[in-house]
Amino acid sequence: MERVIIKGVGSYIPECVLSNADLEGMVDTTSEWIVTRTGIESRRICLDTEMASDLGCEAARRALENANISGCDIDLIIVATVTPDMRFPATACIIQEKLGCVDIPCFDVNAVCSGFIYALDVARNFLLNNSKMKNVLVIGTEKMSSIVDWEDRSTCVLFGDGAGAVILSRDVGEDSDAGILDVLVGANGSLGRLLHCPIHESAGPIGVSRTDQNKYFIRMEGREVFKEAIKRMCSVAEDVLLRNNLTIDDIACVIPHQANMRIISAIADRMEIPMEKMFINLQHTGNTSAASIPIAIDEALQNGKIQSEDLILTIAFGAGMTWGAALIRWK
């Protein structure tokens, strides 16, 4: 029985901490407002010289070490990001060079905060349909600080930088109930206007103003996105459970996209998930978009929240609007 397992996990968040108190000195906000409305206490921010590929590369190195394999063992790199170093080449190609994985295929996926789940699905299908491939590196990496409008208090308090990576491997074993059991993704392009960023130009240090801010930075209708996030994350989670004849009682740990504590609590409420099952690390990461879920998986493992044999449910939601959920039996 062929299956796709997660063989290694790694993450990296930059060293520079931007606290709520720091933001109080930048825009008209208070730490109390940010914590009450979002749950976020601090986030990590790249140095001007650090790019999404640097974060992704460090996360990938840690995942390779965790899987006990080297860059030479990787057959494909997929990077989920909306903050690529450049328009092209793809950040996956830049990371390939840094890791020394010569000549293997590399490409980026853009599904914003759902990007990691989309990339996981693509990687899993590559492995199941191409017997020559054994290991695929999937990375979610973001330098959100480069597209945040640092003069817009309604969005700049939300986002952070970081990267997470997993090594997916084709594995043969008796046990079919192991590894990535199912992935479900979807999108509704008609709601794209609710959260968008017209032009991408990386390498924007905090405080730099651009001539036409509306074009360069994230623009969001927060309340609408909030409602849509809860609706779609619940429905995709329920759908993936249903089509696998599972209920929430079968799940040991839920890893939701780390956007807002109130979104996570509302999902827990609506789906009757005990809060102890919800893994939350947004207090110190903020919303890291495509990196949010792999960073959370890595931290959940390090904190002992995921044990061998546990069934994990990850749920994502992002601009597009996009959404996705994955069921993973941890081995």
For ligand UT7, give the closer residue by CB, 171 or 224.
224
Contact 314, 328 (CB under 8 A): yes
DSSP bridge partners of 136? 76, 168
**Residue of 96, 287, 288, 322 interacting with ligand UT7 (CB under 6 A):** 287
How many Å apart are CA 246 and CA 206, to the nearest integer?
46
Three-state DSSP state, 211: coil
Q: How far is the CB of 308 from ligand UT7 (least distance, A)?
A: 31
Q: Give yes or no for residue 107 binding ligand UT7 (CB under 6 A).
A: no
Q: Which 172-231 positions form the footprint of ligand UT7 (CB under 6 A)?
A: 222-223, 225-226, 229
Contact 297, 117 (CB under 8 A): no
CA atoms 320, 254, 300, 177: torsion sign: negative
188: annotated active-site residue: no
Q: Give yes or no for residue 20 binding ligand UT7 (CB under 6 A).
A: no
Q: Which 224-283 positions form the footprint of ligand UT7 (CB under 6 A)?
A: 225-226, 229, 259-260, 263
- Catalytic site residue from 113, 156, 234, 253: 113
Phi, psi of 230, deg, nearest 5: -65, -45
68: annotated active-site residue: no
Number of neighbouring beta carbons within 10 Å of residue 276: 9
Contact 2, 170 (CB under 8 A): yes
Q: How far is the CB of 254 from ligand UT7 (least distance, A)?
A: 16
For ligand UT7, give the closer residue by CB, 43 or 124.
43
For ligand UT7, give the closer residue by CB, 37 or 98.
37
Q: How far is the CB of 156 from ligand UT7 (least distance, A)?
A: 8
How many Å apart are CA 101 and CA 104, to the nearest integer?
7
Which residues of the chain form contacts with ligand UT7 (CB under 6 A)?
29, 33-34, 37-38, 113, 153-154, 157, 222-223, 225-226, 229, 259-260, 263, 287, 317-318
